[in-house]
Amino acid sequence: MPSSIFECTSSTLLPAYTPEMDAVAGRLESLGSYRIKERIAAGAMGSVYQAVDARDATPVALKVLDPNLVQNETLAKRFKVEARAAMRLNHPNIVRVIATGTCDSLLFIAMEFITGPSLHDLIAKQRQLAVERSLEIMQQVTRGLSHAAAQGIVHRDIKPANILITDDGTAKLTDFGLARVVDETLQTELTHEGMTVGTVEYIAPEQARDSRAADVRSDIYSLGCTWYHMLVGRPPFSEGDLRDKMSAHVNAPPPDPRVKNPRVPVGVVGILDQMLAKKPADRHQTPARLLQDLESDQILREEPSDDILRGLADGLE
């Protein structure tokens, strides 16, 4: 089904009920041609529903902005930018956006429905992923990130919860809700100086200071934090409160994953250290360059290449 943008006036709201009697104002039964089956996730900006397009029985994940937030111009604008940015992306390692629009004053995005778990859930179940499997996921996500970067899109919230794993093992990057579209035809200024956007356990130092400083190298840093989480079972800077974590991203050297997981090869540590460099100029400058290192046949060997060893040495300085 081709991607589309449309408006309609045929959503149906039914009274909400949960065992906890929470503060949800309503439960969606339908939204345009989409028939709601159940709510599968909820966050600060809205909910995600499993749904079916009644026109052709296509299963979708329907992301709906919280009705109470629609009147907030900044949040509504951010939601629309997410949809317009994501609709430009067409890659096997990115969750596909099928349609987006407004229905009975509700803003929504219909996305490809993934039945498998998030990477966050996978790590929680396995605690530490095998090095080889983590490398496969890294390669796939980096390919998707490279495609997004080619479209001028910065994700700004890469983390295990935003990587979905399909039943056949494919990793797909999702939720471009914090993406900044660099292309001037779509760019909308959504943040002001000094505002931090992102998830603190995975945020790049420059992004922690000011979200407007984030670029694709910030995404590479966040992906490095995600890789460390896969290998160790927790993010690299997970101790203390929000201020402690942000300070560690800015000031603390990258922790060595081999302390918690001695099976991690030295070549992986070298690439991780470069990804987690404090200065963007010291990281891989593009996802394509990172992918070259991730696809090196030296990375899992006992004696990695000189380039990888130099990366390790630079990261320890």
User: Quick check: is 157 catalytic?
Assistant: yes
Cβ(220)–Cβ(149) below 8 Å: no
Cβ(22)–Cβ(2) below 8 Å: no
Tell me how far apart the terminal alpha carbons of the chain are, to the nearest angstrom.
Answer: 51
How far, in Å, CA of 38 to CA of 54, rounded?
Answer: 15
**Concatenated DSSP letters for the chain?**
---EEEEES--EEE----TT--S---EEEEETTEEEEEEEEEETTEEEEEEEETTTTEEEEEEEE-GGGTT-HHHHHHHHHHHHHHTT---TTBPPEEEEEEETTEEEEEEE---S-BHHHHHHHHSS--HHHHHHHHHHHHHHHHHHHHTTEE----SGGGEEE-TTS-EEE---TT-EE-STTT------TT---S-GGG--HHHHH-GGG--HHHHHHHHHHHHHHHHHSS-SS-SSSHHHHHHHHHHSPPPPGGGT-TTS-HHHHHHHHHHT-SSGGGS-SSHHHHHHHHT-TTTTSSS--HHHHHHHHHHH-
- Of 157, 215, 219, 293, which one is the catalytic site residue? 157
Closest by CA to 109, choosing from 100, 118, 117, is 100
Closest by CA to 177, choosing from 104, 275, 111, 245, is 111
Catalytic residues: 157
